[in-house]
Amino acid sequence: MNRWSLSGLLALALLAAPARAEEVPGSPADTQKRLEQLEKEMALTRKIESALQELRDINRRLADLERKVDEMQKPQERTSRFPPNTGMIRLQNRLSVPATIIVGGIPHRLQPGEQRDLQPQPAGTFEFEALVDGFGSLQPRATRTLQAGQIYTIFTYLP
C-alpha cells in the first residue's frame, strides 16, 4: 500500500470508532457516571427530607406557641384567696368582754364574739399581743411565723 492509502484508512478508522469509551451505553464508565449521578440525587433527596422535617418541627412549635398565646389572652381567674407569698391573720374574740389584739404594732378592737380577717399579710414573722378589758394582758407580746397561703388564727380565751 502506498503511504496515502494507509493514512486514509487510519483516518477512516478513527472516525468510525466511538470518540470515548464512557459514551457507550452499558460500558463500565457509563455505569460509573450514572452511579455518581444517583449518589448526588440521593444526597440532595436526603437534604430535602431533612429540611422538610425541620419545617414540620417548626410548624409544630409555632402551633404550640400560638396555643399558649391564646391561653394567655383568655381572662384568668385566681384560684387562691391570697396573693403570692402572703397569708391571712384571723382575729377572734371568744370572750364576753371587748378585747384588743395588737398585730405588728396595729391595735384591732374586737367586740365579744367578733371575728375579723386582716388583709393579706406578707409571709414571715410577725408580733402580736392580746389585751382584754378588765383583765389586762392576756397574751404578752409573742413572735410567730405566717406561711404563704396560711390562715393563722389568734383568739382570746380565759384558761
Question: For residue 20, is pLDDT > 80?
Answer: no
The backbone region for 149, taken as left when phi is positive above 0, alpha when psi lies in -120 to 50, beta otherwise, is left
Taking only the tens place, the pLDDT of each residue in 48-76 is 999 999 999 999 999 999 888 878 777 66
Q: Report the amino acid identity of residue 114.
A: E
DSSP code, position 26: T
Question: For residue 43, is pLDDT > 90?
Answer: yes
Taking only the tens place, the pLDDT of each residue in 107-151 is 999 999 999 999 899 999 999 999 998 888 888 999 999 999 899
Name the architecture of domain 86-156.
Sandwich (2.60)
Predicted confidence band of residue 36 (pLDDT cuts 50, 70, 90): very high
Q: Report the amino acid identity of residue 54.
A: E
What's the whole-model pTM score? 0.48
Domain ranges, ordered by start, for the chain:
1-76, 86-156
